[in-house]
Structures are given as structure tokens and as C-alpha cells.
Structure 1
Amino acid sequence: MQEVLEQESLLILSIKDAKNEDTSIESFRVLLKYGADMDLGVRRYDENGKEYLYYPTDVFARGYFVSPMIMQRKRKIWDDRKRYLKNSNFLLDLRMKKFLIQSYNL
């Protein structure tokens, strides 16, 4: 139960905290580092009571009210993380192929 609350708190900070840019950016980085589902939205209500969902990656959408500095920093973190995961999967594939070839040759 505690983990869910922490993840929701980080998600909300990541999206909503415009007063403290460093908190918003760092929480976004932590979400990515620990593998949070970036397609998971947080239910919010506007001032008229209408329900909508916030998503961490909404920060990259045009028309989203985030300072350009936050958007650029989060975009860099996002791109670096995708590049890291792509390289990790590539290295894992190479290790698996090597293992399978060695096992087959036994």
C-alpha cells in the first residue's frame, strides 16, 4: 500500500509542481529510473469539477502549461532513458545469443 501512495505522489509532483522546477524534474527522473509505467495517468479535477487524467509524458505535448526549461530538461531525461533501455536490450540480446551458441556447442 505504501509503494502505491509513493508512486502516486511522485507522479503528481512530476506533472504538477511548477513552483519547484527541480522537484518536478527530479521526480520525473526517479519515476523513469525505477520503471514506473509512464502511461499511467492520475485522475484530477479542474476548477469546474470535471474529471481528467494527467500523464507524465504530457509535459512534451504542445499547449501544455509547463515552462520551456522544464520541458527541455524532462525531454533530455526521457531521451537518455529511452537510449539507455535500447542499449541495455541490445546488450542483453547479445549475451543471450552468446549463451545459446555456447550451450548448443556443448
Structure 2
Amino acid sequence: MLKDITGREVLAVRMERNDAGAATIKDYLIALLIDLWKSSEDADPAKPFGNPSWEFDLYEALVRAGLISGLIEDGDYVSEVDREAGNRLINLAIKTLGEN
């Protein structure tokens, strides 16, 4: 899709309702890290926010923003997604978080 997107642009992508209550991908990644940190005490690191398919919240936001290809059914179910492209963009966003 978009070839010259920056990590900051990925971080700013708006999100629909999600288990983290995050408004943007940046907010979601921060909440994910906080949840992971808490997992040493009481949370399940395989199910942040109590959801084993949490990464699809991020894929959905990227699909809705037109940054990766995918299909969203019934308003919020991601039935198809380019995971490789999504993973590249999320990795770029995470690296950008480290620059702030």
C-alpha cells in the first residue's frame, strides 16, 4: 500500500473500540507494554487485556487506515489481513517509540 510511511504516522493511526481502550496505535502499544510489565505479577502475557488475538486490534486499525490489505467483516472482524505488512509497520512504530 503506502511505501513511504513513517513510524510516527503509524503511531498516530486511530483505532476503533479495543480491549486496551486505546485511541491510537501509540496508545495501544504503551498499554500493551504496561500490561506485559504487570504480567510478572498477575496477568497472562499470552493474553494481554484478556484477549488471545489482541494483535488483530492493531491489524484492524492498519486495514481501516488503508496501510495494509485486509478484509473486515461484520464491522469489526478481521477475516483476512496481510500480516507480514502489518508486522513490518508495527515493528516500525515500536522502533519509533524508542526515539521519543
TM-score (norm 2): 0.30
Whose helix proportion is higher, 1 or 2? 1
TM-score under structure 1 length normalisation: 0.29
Structure of larger gyration radius:
1
Higher relative contact order (CA closer than 8 Å, sequence separation 6+):
2
